[in-house]
Structure formats: structure tokens, C-alpha cells
Amino acid sequence: MVPATTPLIGFSEEIIWPMGQILLPMKIGDAEYSTFAWMNFVVVRSPSPYNGIIGRPGIRKIQAIPSTAHRMLKFPVSGGVLTLRSRKIIPLEFQIEECRSDLPTSSRQSIPKANWQKLR
């Protein structure tokens, strides 16, 4: 393991100092269809529901195409294309704010009428 020199900053702006960085061989797929790549992982001491998280560099190394909307990852393997599907529904961690018509009059006037109708 190689020492890490920069911290990780989480979504809520918490700072986590990694224990280090390690290069590991990754075989992704099953016995029949798989691909292999060496990937860098940052090691942190933090509770997580995941064993590892593959970042954008790893996704590029295996030439994968991720789709968060479909919870799938497709990538080329010997003999074809492999599709990995998520079994979990990922909880949404954001709130959708409702568009309301009780905006101040000055705000209403700055929006063209055609677009204002779409907001309702």
C-alpha cells in the first residue's frame, strides 16, 4: 500500500484522510464471461455498504458504459458484452421542491407567460 497524500471530501463536506492507495487486479464478470484490469483503490477506514467503489478511471479501463437510470453497467468481455444489473433500489437522497404559484408578482412577471404555464 502506498501512502495517500490528499484527503477525500464527502458530499456533506466531511474530510476523510485515506489510509493509503493500493493497485489491485480486478476480474469482473463470471466464470464464462469476464474482463480483467489493474485498478487503483483508495483505502479508507469508514463504514460502507460496499466492498469497493470503481471510479471513472476504472470504468474507462474496462470500457464500460454505466446507466444509473437503469441501474446497469455494460462492458465488453471475451465472447460478447456483459450486463451487470443492480438488485437494490438506491434511495433518493434529495428532495424535489414543488413549483408553486405563490411567487412574488415581480418573479411572475419576469417569466414569459408560455413558460409560466409549464411551471404549474
Ordered by start, the domain boundaries in the chain are 8-85
Is residue 100's pLDDT more than 90? no
Predicted confidence at residue 90, as pLDDT, reads: 53
Q: What is the per-residue pLDDT across 35-89, written as a single tens digit (0 to 9) for each?
A: 889 999 999 888 878 788 888 889 999 999 999 888 888 999 887 888 888 876 5
pTM (2 decimals)?
A: 0.59
pLDDT at 31: 78
- Strand, coil or helix: what is 105? helix
Q: What is the pLDDT of residue 96?
A: 43
Q: CB 113: neighbour CB atoms within 10 A? A: 8
